[in-house]
Each structure stands twice: as C-alpha cells, then as structure tokens.
Amino acid sequence: MNDGYMGRFLFIDLTNRSVSRPPVPEWLKTDYIGGKGFGARLLTDLCPTGADPMGPDNPLMFFTGPLTSTAAPSMRACMVTKSPLTGLYLDSFFGGRFGPEIKYAGYDGIVIVGCADTPTYLWIGPEGRVAFRDAAAIWGQNALEANRSVKQDLHEPEAQVVTIGQAGENRVLFSLVTCEYNRQAGRGGAGAVMGAKNLKAVAVKGKHLVKVHHPESFSEACRRSRSELSASQEVAALSQFGTSAAVSFSAAIGSIPFRNFQNQADEAAEKLGDTAQGRHLFLAKAACFGCPIHCSQMGAVRTGKFATFVTDTVEYESAAMMGANLDIHDIRAVAHLTRLCDEYGLDTISAGNVIGFAFEAAERGIIAAPAGVDLRFGSIDGAEYLLEAIAARKGPLGRLLAGGVKRAGDKIGKKASDYAMHVKGMEVPAWGPRGTPGMGLAYMTSDRGACHQRGFMISYELAGEPFEGKPVQAETLAGKAEILRNRQDYLSGTDTLVKCDFGAMGISADSYARMLSAATGRNADPASFWLIGERIWNLTRLFNLREGMKTEDERLPKRVEDPLPGGPLKGKKISGKDAAYMLADYYRIRGWDEQGRPRKETLKRLNLIDAPTFVYPTDFSQEKR
Amino acid sequence: MTETYFIKTNFDLCTGCGLCQLACSERLLGGYNPHRAAIRIRHLSENLYHFPVVCNHCRNPFCANVCPAGAIFRDAATGAVKVDSEACTACGLCQRFCPIGMIRVDPDRKAAVKCDLCAGEEPRCVSACPTGALIKVTVKNAAETEGVR
C-alpha cells in the first residue's frame, strides 16, 4: 500500500561495517507518525541508560516524515541523538535537500551506531546499498570543502551530502552537522557525536519514487496549504527578507541580546538588519527542496577586508548572536564570522553566546587574553581568534570554551556561572527572556535545553498574537504554562511530519491533517497532533529523567534575575520566585509531580505504559560486493 | 501555420526548490523523485545560482537522430519531441547523445522518458513554479520547428 512511507529503516554499524534494514512497524507510524516521534521512540529504546554521548552506543539518527520529499510544501527532516552538550534528548531539524534524498534511497530513517576505526564516510547509492569509504583524505577539511570533495570522489554531483567540519572532528560540544549548503542540524552537538564515530560525511542519492495513498486528494490538500502560505503576511515577510527582518523587530520589542545579554537593547541594530544586508550582501533567493517560501536570501561579500565569499545573508539568530551580542555592527564582519562557523561546523547560536561569555569574562579580568589578542566586546579579531581556537580545541581558551558556557563557568568559578547564559547546558538563543516570562518558561522546560523553537511565547507576550481569541498580557505569570503546553504539544506533533516552523506560520493544523490523511490513507484528525505531540513530549521527558535531569536543572541563568539596565523593557527581570511559580504551574498542568515526573495516570492516558518498543535488529550483515 | 510553445527558463528567478520536478515526476511516473523528472536543476556556487534545464525540443534532435527503433518523433499538434514507449527498446542511445541530459531510460517504465510538453495541457512544471523561473512562451511561426527528419 502506498502510504508516503518507504517502509524501512537503514541501520549502519560502523564498528562491524555491517547493515540491517528492519521494517518500520505499523504501530510506530500510527502512534508516532515520523520525524521527532520516531526519534523520541528509537532514542529511548536504542540508547542504553547512561550511555556516553560520544561512545559507540549512542545512536546518531536521521529521520524523515511521511510528507518529507513529496509535494507537500515546506517540509524538513531531523537528526536525533543523545546530546553531548546537555546529556539529554536532542533533536535538530534541517531543511535543504538531504532529508528527501533519504526517502529516495528507500528509507524512512538512517540509524548509525558503533564507531569506525579510521576516518570514514558513507555512500548510500541509488539502489540503497551502503559503501564504507575511506575519509583519510578529507579528514581535516572544513564542512563545505568536504561536501565538494565527497561529490568529486564519488563522481556524483547530484548526491546530497552531510558533513562535519573541524569542530565536529575535535568533538566541540556545540559542533553541528552541515546538511548541504546553508542548512545545518545546528543545535546540541550532533557534529561531535558524528566526529566521535570517526564519520566525516554521509552521501545519499536515491532513485525510488515516493508515493502517496490518494494522489488527487493529496494534490488538493497541497494546493490548500500553498494558498494558506500565500495568504500569510508573516510568510510573505520571510519570502522577501528571510529572518533578517527580525533584527529590527527584536530590537523594537526589547528582546535582542546585547553584550552577552547584559541588556536586551541595541541602538545600532539596524546596521545588522534586512536593509543593511540587502544593500551589502543580497543577490538572489534560494529555497529548501519543495518549498515555495524561499526564505534563504543568497548573497556575497564582494568588497572589503573579508571579500570574497558567497553567503546565505545572515539569518536572525546569527546576526544577533554574532553581531549585537558581541557588539559587532559591521554586517560584512558578522557574515564573515558566520561563514567561519559554517566552515568549522559550529552552531552560530552557541558560538556567539560562548564568545559573548568569554568577552565578558575577559573584560572582568577573570580570563586573560593571549598576547596580541583583544577580547573586548566589539573585537572582530578576538571573535575570529576564539572561533579558530574552539574549533581546534587549541590553547587554554579553546579547550575551556569548546565545552560551552556551562562547563566554562563551572571551571572558572568566581561567579562566572552567573553570566553563563544557558539552560541545561544549552546556550540561550537570541531572544532575551526578561520581560517575557512565558519565554523564560519555554527555555526552562524545553526538551533540549534553551531553545526558542519549542514554543515561541514572545509572539503572544510582545507581538500581540492572541491565544484562543484572547489577548495575552506580557508580564502575567498565570496562564503562561497553559499556552506553552499547547504550543509544545502542537509543535512536537507536527514535527513528526516533518514540518518547517516557517511553513507552520501559514499552514493550518487542518491542512496538515488533510495532507497526512491523503498521503497515508489513515484518517488523521487535526486534534491528533496535540495528542501525539503530548505523548512525544512525555516520552522525551522520561528519557531526560532517566538520564539524570533534575527539577533544579530547569532554571534560567542567574542574570535574568537582575533588572534590565535600559531599552524598551528597562527594569524587567524574571525573579527566582516567579520562575518557580510558573514551573510548578506547568508541572501541574502537564500532569507531572512536584519533581517534574509524569504521573502514572498521565502516562496511562497517553498510552505510554507498557507501550510497544522498537527492538534493535539482530540481522546485521556485510553488504555484498 | 500552427501555434506552438516552449518553456523558457529564467535562472535569475529560480530558487532551486524543485517543485517543478516534483510535479513532473508525479505526472510522468505517479510518484515523487526529482532525479526522475524530465526537468533538471543545476545548483551552482553553494546554491547562489540555480539553472533549470528543460528539453529544447530541438529542430535537430540528437535523441531522435540516434534512435535505432525510430521511437522518437515530433508531435505535430504541440511541436514536442516525444517517445513512443511501445516502440522504444530502452537501449539508452538517446540518453548517451542528449548533451543536456533531457532524456533518460526510466528504471520502472523500461523506456526512455522525456518532456512531452504535458501533451498540450498547461505544463505542470510551469504551474508549480512559484517564482516565474519557468514560463510558457508561445511561438507564432511554427515553420521554424518544422522539417525534422
């Protein structure tokens, strides 16, 4: 039966150079749909309790959803693994063209276990066969060079390739996986897991057709979704400017981080925004596979000190973290620093946060700058020096900072942890939470640490979006947990498809359900996204508790307890008392106990007691030549 | 004099999204795979440029010239160079001699597959294109496309 799935996973054991192709069980499709759902279930079932994230037992997984690779607009894929940065559940979503290719190769997901004894890359060819190839010659190359090298080595210009840069090779805890150009599985250190497996790249090219159950109703549902995208003003803004327009928005509402989040205001922000980028960088638009939004604004730095290179014009998170947060306002310099992150394979959010922390520690005299290096805010050379040191784990500063701000703060002592901006070890992204307590709660309770994509509460608190028809007060604490739960569940539910967060600004739950129903032939009700999302959210919770997460880990950085010194939200803070109130309210609404553990009746309601588990395949074998 | 048309590509507007390829493979083969569509996109310079490549429906079609089975012909109504899949032996010579990769033996169909300008209907690739990178252009003077073989 055609149902949008390919029906098989590809398991690859790097230690024994063997593979297995277990079928995707029907219960997994029904109860978890795909993407994040598959990831939550398989990580729970396949990763041994307490496994070293860098060890051979930690599975590194890529998952698609039933709509990935079809004409359903704005779909993505995800990576799931145990994070070396947080020690907890990690999923990281990416667009581009690698995700669809997994299905064209005949699989719904790729699960990589073990560890290669020498640098290796994987080639999953048109028949879906796996070759373990020597990567000695490309080990040491940056993430973009490695992409080119793999395609040349294979003589396959149309292969889709994921790579790591030097940062992943050196197991930097916030290193990422580059998913073709301009797209990354960015957060949480999946690149380090790949590097620890001695795996430089995975290349895929497939010739299978992806087929849906009801082609006509599927096309109709896709048309409906595309018209919803066309009607959305938010989507139109993304098509026109990408996320760079968020620079002026974030500065206007008072969320933009400035000097390691010392303030949430930046008077020079416009130098980093869409107008400045349009003038200095923009050349053309690019899109992820199958996406009509084309949020990528391609450009190039063509003159000046940093010329010449091609760049996706700097998206909001990078512009704010590498720009405002470091008090650097030359957009070409920010593009240059972002480009360095792309080459080394570093998450720009964590990297910008880590450098901000280092600049502040240096200005306070707590860490010493090496001779000839300026580590004050505004120093482009200083930022460049630190990026290189971190990626190579070079020198005392490189080694100190390669573990992220939590570990660096703990190691330095002297109250440095007070301005280490992280939750559960993951660095806070470019939306300062002071003045938006709901956003703070979202950071505290997100499954992967401080993340703005697990419930963007600022939309309600400062951008005027109503919740269920009613306006939401920015500073009120009561009711925030309820809104957040709703968003976390819905996003988790639709991250099974795997949807793009930007597409979701236009496409309704009803249209997602119509596309899913037509693709799979199983009737999907829009409400099921909330139910399945809640199931997944509780499952990742159980995983995190199993791996040692405690309720005291669910707290905001100390800095947010101090009032903001200026800007639109001057005086705003989130006190420990306020955070504790919201967290207790959140646990209660979730049906969890005071320690944040799901109660038995909650798990029962979600069919998580005695639920089926995914069994590790036993029929691994060597690929026949 | 008949009226015919072709598909003009505008690389400056192409975002590389591949919606054209999805629409094409869906019509041709009943499923989705851009590698098996009758339209290609070359992604260059780290995704700065995207070049859509469509069949030229040549006045001197190399694919038809080399076909030993005489299975490639021009459709008089649309001007499209088409494959008679009954007559095609899937030998692959056409694929080897088309310099722009616009004809291919499909592994499931066991026959050469190429653009047929959607048999005179609105081309699916043009309809699917969200940016105007593919447009349908009408040719008034059909004499220019006559005289093949």
Digit-coded pLDDT (tens) for A232-278:
999 999 999 999 999 999 999 999 999 999 999 999 999 999 999 99
CA of residue A303 relative to chain centroid, distance = 32
Distance in angstroms (rounded) separating the CA atoms of residues A68 and A267: 41
Tens of pLDDT, residues A58-102: 999 999 999 999 999 999 999 999 999 999 999 999 999 999 999
Q: What is the pLDDT of residue B144?
A: 54
Is B114 an 8 Å CB contact of chain A?
no
How far apart CA A81 and CA A218 sit, in angstroms, is: 32
- Mean pLDDT, range B79-88, rounded to an integer: 96
Residue A615: other Cβ atoms inside 10 A: 10
- Domain of A301, in residue numbers: 223-427
Rounded to a whole number, what is the distance in Å from the CA of A205 to chain B's nearest CA?
9
* H or E stretch at A131: strand A130-134
Sign of CA dihedral A242, A244, A250, A252: negative
Q: What is the Cα Rg of chain A in Å?
A: 23
Are residues A73 and A17 located together in one domain of the fold? Answer: yes
ipTM score assigned to the predicted complex? 0.95
Do residue A129 and residue A238 come from a single domain? no
Query: Is the Cβ pair B17, A210 closer than 8 Å?
Result: no
pLDDT at residue B139 in the model? 81
* A172, amino acid identity: V
Are A31 and A116 within one domain? yes
- Whether the CB of B1 is below 8 Å from some CB of chain A: the reply is no
Q: Is the pLDDT confidence value at A449 over 50? A: yes
Tell me whether residue A527 is in a domain: yes
Structure tokens at A442: 């979202």
**Count of structural domains within chain A:** 3
A213 in a structural domain? no
CB contact under 8 A, B32 and A288: no
Give the whole-angstrom CA distance, residue A194 versus residue A177: 8
| Mutation site for B-interface testing, chosen from A107, A298, A309, A502 by largest number of B Cβ within 10 Å | A298
For chain B, the domains span: 4-142
Residue of A nearest to B132 (CA): A292
| Contact yes or no for A207 and B19 at CB 8 A | no
Tell whether B32 is within 8 A of chain A (Cβ).
Answer: yes
Does the pLDDT value for residue A191 go beyond 70? yes
A-chain residues near B108 (CB < 8 A): 209
Same domain, A460 and A519: yes
| Residues on chain B touching A310 (C-beta within 8 angstroms) | 45-46, 48
pLDDT of residue A439: 98
Q: Chain B contact for A340, CB < 8 A?
A: no
Do A382 and A257 share a domain, yes or no?
yes
Q: Is B125 on the interface with A (CB under 8 A)?
A: no
Contacts of A208 in chain B (CB under 8 A): 33
Residue where a domain terminates, one of A204, A237, A265: A204
The pLDDT of A419-446, averaged and rounded, is 98
List B residues 58-97 in contact with A (Cβ-Cβ < 8 A): none
Shared-domain flag, residues A106 and A174: yes
Q: Is the pLDDT at B119 greater than 60, yes or no? A: yes
User: β-strand A120-124 against A77-82: which pairing, if any?
Assistant: unpaired
> How many Å lie between the alpha carbon of A472 and the closest alpha carbon of chain B?
36
Mean pLDDT of B121-131: 96
Contact A424, A449 (CB under 8 A): yes
Q: By the 8 A CB rule, do A493 and A533 touch?
A: yes
> In CATH, what number is assigned to the domain containing residue A74?
3.60.9.10
Q: What is the DSSP code (8-state) at residue A616?
A: P
- Residues A47 and A72 both lie in one domain: yes
CATH number of the domain enclosing A477? 1.10.599.10
Chain A contacts of B19, Cβ < 8 Å? 71, 73, 290-292
pLDDT greater at residue A310 or residue A117? A117
| Same domain, residue pair A96 and A200 | yes
- Whether A310 contacts chain B with CB within 8 A: yes
Measured between CA atoms, the residue of chain A closest to residue B21 is A290
Q: Give the 3-state secondary structure of residue A181.
A: coil
B34–A206 C-beta distance less than 8 A: no
Judge whether A285 is closer than 8 Å to chain B, CB to CB.
yes
Give the mean pLDDT of chain A. 97
Residue A146 sits at the chain B interface (C-beta within 8 Å): no
Stretch A401-429: mean pLDDT? 97
pLDDT exceeds 60 at position B22: yes
A460 and A579 both lie in a single domain? yes
Percent of chain A with pLDDT over 90: 97
* Cβ-based neighbours of A470, under 8 Å, separated by 6 or more: none
List of long-range contacts for A235-242, beta carbons under 8 Å, 24+ apart: A235/A293, A235/A502, A235/A503, A235/A505, A235/A506, A238/A293, A238/A295, A238/A502, A238/A505, A239/A285, A239/A293, A239/A294, A239/A295, A241/A274, A241/A278, A241/A297, A242/A274, A242/A295, A242/A296, A242/A297, A242/A313, A242/A315
The answer to whether B49 faces chain A, any CB pair under 8 Å, is yes
Positive or negative CA dihedral for A567, A568, A570, A574? negative
Report if residue A114 sits inside a domain. Answer: yes
pLDDT interval class at B149 (50, 70, 90): very low
A150, A138 contact by CB (below 8 A): yes
Which of the listed CATH numbers 3.20.20.210, 3.40.50.880, 3.30.70.20, 1.25.40.10 matches domain B4-142? Answer: 3.30.70.20
Other C-beta atoms closer than 10 Å to the C-beta of B95 total 18
Judge whether B33 is closer than 8 Å to chain A, CB to CB: yes
Across the interface, whether the CB atoms of A291 and B17 are under 8 A apart is answered: yes
